[in-house]
Structure 1
Amino acid sequence: MTESNRELVIVGVDATAFDALLEILAERKTVAPADLKLLAADAADADPQVFANRSIAVQVAKDFTFSEGQVVLLLNSDDTAREVLAAAEAAGAWVIDAAGITRGDESVALVHPLLNSAEVQSGERNVVALPVAGAAMVAEALYPLKSQLHSVEVVLNQPVSALGKSAVDSAAAQTARMFNGQEAEVDPTTGQRLAFNHLSSAEAILESGHSFGELALVHELRRLLGDELLLDATINTTSVFHGQLANISVTLKEAQPLDTVRGLLANGARLEMRERPSAEEAVGGENTLLGRLRQGLVSPRQVNFCAVSDNLRKDVAINCAQIVHLLLKIH
């Protein structure tokens, strides 16, 4: 039984995490099929979706009527999603931004359901932002050490799915062509080949030398872990479809025995210690896998480790479902 008959409205049936989200919502019985609404820019381009053994039609967003009794979840950051955000907020609905539309807007609470779910009501608006998948995973991995952190350097190896469904389709097509001995076409968005490649950056480089995604990752981690934390980040893109891996180097305020650090990480929420974790092990799971824990060679206060997770199921779909559940229950 669901705990509320309030409507859940999802915008982004073509988002990479959409299928995983529907699966999680059905497994957890978060919402009844009758109370689930799906929106797209043009319903003619979207087939009905199966949810809990029921067929759910996809409606046209511009024709949909929003109301105070709804929770609206945005999975895309396109013009349609931005229009929906404005219309839903004006109607008094709660909006969950899982696409980074409101990134940098301090009037919107940035909420990780495991770390600061009480912040849902702290924003000035009825809008809740979720951290992007990379920030969600790294924040979970660092949270048990939060009070002891002085500085953090993150090298995030993101999968092609982090760039969107079109990038996944492009990488799949390139892979097929290369297996058939044909020249792979360059991905039009990144300007580089995605298949059998490792990109130093999938985005344009800013004047600082960083990409926008790297600065956004730093910004979201500071909002979740504390503004005083010194942070730097690099985001590479690897030619795998799903599953992300981050190499993390932390400098602690004071040197700690490695066993103490291991114990703190092992007791963290949704964290699981492995000797040599891989993205393959993490895909399909609901935990962040941590491993390669070792003392740094630069400073006695330095500790290095890696974190891997399923970027779609765990860091987007499950986090979305938990915030949806919270809003349907208390608002």
Structure 2
Amino acid sequence: MGYKVVVVGATGNVGREMLNILAEREFPVDEIAALASRRSLGTECSFGDKTLKCQDLEHFDFTGWDIALFAIGSDATKVYAPKAAAAGCVVIDNSSLYRYDPDVPLVVPEVNAAAVDGYTKKNIIANPNCSTAQMVVALKPLHDRAKIKRVVVSTYQSVSGTGKDAMDELWNQTKGVFVPGQEVAPSVYPKQIAFNVIPHIDVFLDSGDTKEEWKMVTETKKIVDPKIKVTATCVRVPVFVGHAESINVEFEDFLDWEEATEILREAPGILVVDKREAGGYITPVECVGEYATYVSRIRQDVTIENGINFWCVSDNLRKGAALNAVQIAEVLGQRCLKKG
């Protein structure tokens, strides 16, 4: 006995990862459907040892389906998520559309699993931004111990967070650097991404922050604690997959770095790899394909009274998107939905 599951946006980077992770984690599926836009009709997607053919989202009837994992942009989600929800299918949405809706829970299962119960208001659960998801997994156990006052985070975000076209742009620009006459002008990004870093993710706001930075602030407050002050600088780097973050945390109470390390070692979803030697830390390349959020470089910040610094790395297509969505589905099944 299991669930009838729909993956919406199955041909994209995140949609394909959703199918992979559902199979890897042996999510109890009785029936599964892969949906995409009409231009992808019939495109084949893998689900474990099975091959699925994409169906047309526009004409799909969600009646009788239990869970829909959405991995499409906000514009299309705005059209189709309410239809799925109205048909009785619980939507787990990876776009930003519903994250800030007070009637829609924003969930990272290691942090606030019980918030899933609030799905009944709209039959929708929101998945957080990729950069927020990995950070709050590390913040929550520390917050439970010593109460976080303020977080200063700088992100180093891979191009897969923008999508396939961005990954192609990085690849083609990198080749173009070495082949005279084959230089590739920026198209996806406002400046060259190959051998460069761009301190600009999403649109600029009147405050001077980008929307990505605003998302990290707002989502951390909703998921962990509205009293936490957060300031972020989000940077796109020439890495294909895997987001990294340099995080400085100021606490209300003193927390020794060694105790912080032990807390994180015991925390769900975290793997601490922290040897104070060359190579004794995790980089984005090493986290690709993994479920964990990795924490390294844990140390005291001696410039403030109660401060800790650490380095945090995770596969943004997994924990930052697809894995978190599947984990939400698992919690939903355990707490709320009946199988079959």
TM range (shorter): over 0.9
TM-score scaled by length of structure 1: 0.92
In the other structure, the counterpart of 1:178 is 177
**5+ long unaligned stretches in structure 1:** none
Structure 1 segment 160-199 matched on structure 2, within 5 A: 160-199=159-198
CA distance in 2, matches of 1:49, 1:14: 7
Q: Does 1:76 align with 2:72?
A: yes
Q: Determine if the alignment matches structure 1 residue 149 to structure 2 residue 154.
A: no
Q: TM-score, normalised by structure 2?
A: 0.90
Distance 1:49 1:199, change over 3 A: same
Residues 299-327 of structure 1, C-alpha deviations (whole Å, 9 max, x = no match): 13121111111111233222122222333
**Equivalent in the alignment of 1:47:** 43
Alignment match, 1:315: 320
Contact 1:167/1:187 (8 A) holds in 2: no
Change in Cα spacing, 1:140 to 1:182, as seen in structure 2 (3 Å) is farther
Checking the alignment, whether the CA contact within 8 Å between 1:8 and 1:31 is kept in structure 2 is no
Contact 1:196 1:239 in 2 (8 A): yes
**SS of residue matched to 1:17:** helix
CA contact (8 A) 2:108 2:133 kept: yes
Kindly state the Cα deviation for residue 43 of structure 1 after the two structures are TM-superposed: 4.5
Distance apart, 1:233 and its partner CA: 0.9
Percent identity between matched residues is: 28
Aligned equivalents of 1:120 and 1:263: distance in 2?
A: 28
Letter in 2 for 1:312: L
Alignment partner, residue 29 of structure 1: 26
Alignment of 1:78-227 (within 5 A): 78-123=74-119, 124-147=121-144, 148-227=147-226
Flag the 1:66–1:323 CA change in 2: closer, same or farther, 3 A: same
Q: 1:100 to 1:78 in 2, by over 3 A?
A: closer
Measure, in 2, the Cα distance between the counterparts of 1:304 and 1:50.
40
SS of equivalent residue, structure 1 residue 131: coil
TM-superposition CA deviations, 1:62-83 (whole Å, max 9, x none): 1111115321111111533322
Shift of 1:200: 1.0
* Cα displacement (A) at 1:207: 1.6
Q: Tell me which residue corresponds to 1:254.
A: 253
Gaps of 5+ in 2: 275-280
Tell me the secondary structure at the aligned position of residue 199 of structure 1: coil
Counterpart position of 1:230:
229
CA contact (8 A) 2:217 2:229 kept: no
Letter of the structure 1 residue corresponding to residue 251 of structure 2: L
In structure 1, distance between residues paired with 2:14 and 2:71:
8
Separation of aligned partners in 1, 2:74 and 2:106: 20
| In structure 2, C-alpha distance between the alignment counterparts of 1:287 and 1:67, rounded to whole Å | 35
Moved more, 94-103 or 230-239: 94-103
Deviations 1:217-246 (A, max 9, x none): 111111111001111111101000001110
The alpha-carbon distance between structure 1 residues 53 and 131, as it changes in their structure 2 partners (threshold 3 A), is same
Q: Is the 8 A contact 1:12 1:39 kept in 2?
A: yes
Counterpart CA distance in 1 for 2:259 and 2:74 is 45
1:284 correspondence with 2:289: yes
Are the structure 2 counterparts of residues 301 and 40 from structure 1 closer, same or farther at C-alpha, using a change threshold of 3 Å? same
The answer to which of 216-225 and 19-28 deviates more is 19-28
| 2:4 paired with 1:11 | no
Which amino acid letter does the alignment assign opposite residue 203 of structure 1?
D
Tell me the C-alpha RMSD between the 2 structures: 1.9
Identify if the C-alpha distance between structure 1 residues 294 and 327 changes in structure 2 by more than 3 Å, giving closer, same or farther: closer
**How many equivalent residue pairs?**
327
Structure 1 pair 57–43 and aligned structure 2 pair: CA distance change class (3 A) = farther
Q: Deviation at 1:44?
A: 4.5
Q: In the alignment, what sits opposite 1:265?
A: 264
Q: 1:119 to 1:204 in 2, by over 3 A?
A: closer
> Tell me, what secondary structure is at the counterpart of 1:22?
helix
CA contact (8 A) 2:158 2:239 kept: yes
Query: Contact (CA 8 Å) 1:71, 1:327: kept in 2 or not?
Result: no
SS at match of 2:111: coil
Kept in 2, the 8 Å contact 1:270–1:288? The answer is yes
Counterpart-to-counterpart distance in 2, 1:300 and 1:9: 50
Matched, 1:327 2:332: yes
DSSP-derived class of the 1:277 partner: coil
Using the TM superposition, give the Cα deviation of residue 31 of structure 1 relative to its aligned residue in structure 2, in angstroms: 4.5
**Cα distance in 1 for residues equivalent to 2:256 and 2:312:** 20
- AA aligned opposite 1:130: N
CA contact (8 A) 1:14 1:165 kept: no
Name the amino acid aligned to 2:130: A
Contact 1:218 1:232 in 2 (8 A): yes
| Match of residue 278 from structure 2 | none
